[in-house]
Amino acid sequence: MDQRPNPVRRQRCAIYTRKSSEEGLEQEFNSLHAQREACEAYIASQRSEGWVLVRDQYDDGGISGGTLERPGLKQLLADIEDGLIDVVVVYKIDRLSRSLMDFSKLVEVFDRNGVTFVSVTQSFNTTTSMGRLTLNILLSFAQFEREVTAERIRDKVRASRMKGMWMGGYVPLGYDVKDRKLVVNEDEAATVRGIFERFVEVGSATVLARELRRKGLRNKQGTLVDKGYLYRVLMNRVYRGEAVHKGKAYPGEHQAIIDEQLWDQVHAILRQNPRKRANNTRAQAPALLKGLIFTATGSAMTPSSTKKGARRYRYYVSMDVIKNREPSDEGIPRRLPADLVEAAVVTELRRVMRAPSITAQVIAHLAREGHVFAEADVISALQTFDDVWAQLFPAEQTRIVQLLVRRVTVTSEGLVIDVRTDGVSGVMRDMMAPRKKVAAE
């Protein structure tokens, strides 16, 4: 009878190490090295059982155990599924996971592939019922410790905010951080105050955002500001010198940028219905053709508006109607929708700007005045007039119309628009000057 012992089955062992923070990882011998050294020693002690260490290393430095989204762990699970590993060795079970739910998922993967899980400092084997019970108990305490730590951190943040302390995170425009405290950045603070003051004037975040984008204003991250960013600035109680936690405000350690009066003015506007604020903004916009539009009989037409429900309608109305005068020509309209008339005038201006004869005239006029502009730049400015017009505010559009339009006459057959072609040169000079300045810089 053959008395030779049965050969020991070879057990391929993989070591998994993890460290939650990146602190100390740059050291020559760090926590990951210490874990690996202890695990290697344990595997060596089990050599008689056929345990051998695989070459691949599965390490996750600076990653929390509260998630399974870890590169080293993912590679370990992939190799387990491929049948390359028989035993997973860790220093402590919380190195693999701090979540009981996540750990149960990992144990399912281990069981499905016949893999044993071993903790060097907490001796048990997951192939036995007692080992599973021990594992669940230890994991429950690990998860409890994690949750208590999180609660302790939240309590510390709350207590610190109640004392007005800065607890890190997003640094608002207008401040810098020095010695873990917010200090006023005077240049940015002036910008913030300007935003609040300008909002009180225009009453519209949309209009203000467009204005600030044209000026090239950027946030701390270097991105052009938009309406959403403006609302966050206007609602940020940090500018009142307060620290906010869970919706409650406490006196802060830092200096306020916005005084109480300006803050109240802004928030009185913000409390209004957005539709109402938009209507107010449109109602305050100057009429493009004020002082320029007349009937064929010489009667001036003045801006007027009516409101129906929440909507406002603008018109140009003949003075004959306002003063109850009998019209001398029944065929001439005495009331015209402002949007319709203004759109017709702007369309004509755009057509004039693209006319080759006007281009030649502008180039010659600028040369006579001694302005040195490349012809290509002048042509480009004229061709991009549509884009520039769309970016202008109502007051700026009105100024340009006053420069370019001599008179708009309302006849029984339509509109007669008298354009000042000599005014095009002045408009182009204003448009070209900033380009020249930028190029010089």
Whether residue 75 has pLDDT greater than 90: yes
Do 309 and 208 lie in one domain? The reply is no
> End of a domain among 239, 256, 283?
283
Do 298 and 354 lie in one domain? The reply is yes
Do 133 and 38 lie in one domain? The reply is yes
pLDDT band at 5 (very low <50, low <70, confident <90, very high): low
pLDDT band at 246 (very low <50, low <70, confident <90, very high): low
Whether residue 77 has pLDDT greater than 90: yes
Query: Is 129 within a domain?
Result: yes
Do 130 and 256 lie in one domain? The reply is no
pLDDT tens-digit series, residues 321-339: 887 777 666 778 888 998 8
Of 47-56, 170-179, 276-285, which gets the smallest average pLDDT? 276-285
Among residues 155, 138, 121, 126, the alpha carbon closest in space to that of 38 is found at: 121
Do 206 and 303 lie in one domain? The reply is no
Number of domains in the chain: 3
pLDDT band at 72 (very low <50, low <70, confident <90, very high): very high
Phi and psi at 235, nearest 5°, equal -95, -5
In angstroms, the first-to-last Cα distance of the chain is 99
The answer to whether 360 touches 382, Cβ cutoff 8 Å, is: no
Do 21 and 135 lie in one domain? The reply is yes
- Region of 272 (left: φ > 0; alpha: ψ -120 to 50; beta: rest) is beta
> End of a domain among 219, 248, 283?
283
Geometric angle at alpha carbon 408, from 405 and 414, rounded to 5°: 135
pLDDT band at 441 (very low <50, low <70, confident <90, very high): very low
Do 378 and 401 lie in one domain? The reply is yes
The pLDDT mean for the chain works out to 79
Query: Is 71 within a domain?
Result: yes
> End of a domain among 238, 258, 283?
283
pLDDT band at 124 (very low <50, low <70, confident <90, very high): low
Query: Is 4 within a domain?
Result: no
Can you give 38-96 as a three-state secondary structure string? Answer: HHHHHHHHCHHHCEEECCCCEEEECCCCCCCCCHHHHHHHHHHHCCCCCEEEECCHHHH
Do 391 and 272 lie in one domain? The reply is no
Query: Is 325 within a domain?
Result: yes
Do 191 and 322 lie in one domain? The reply is no
Whether residue 76 has pLDDT greater than 80: yes
Do 223 and 308 lie in one domain? The reply is no
The pTM of the whole model exceeds 0.85: no
Q: Which residue has the higher pLDDT, 218 or 381?
A: 218
What domain range includes position 186?
175-283
DSSP state for residue 300 in the 8-state scheme: B
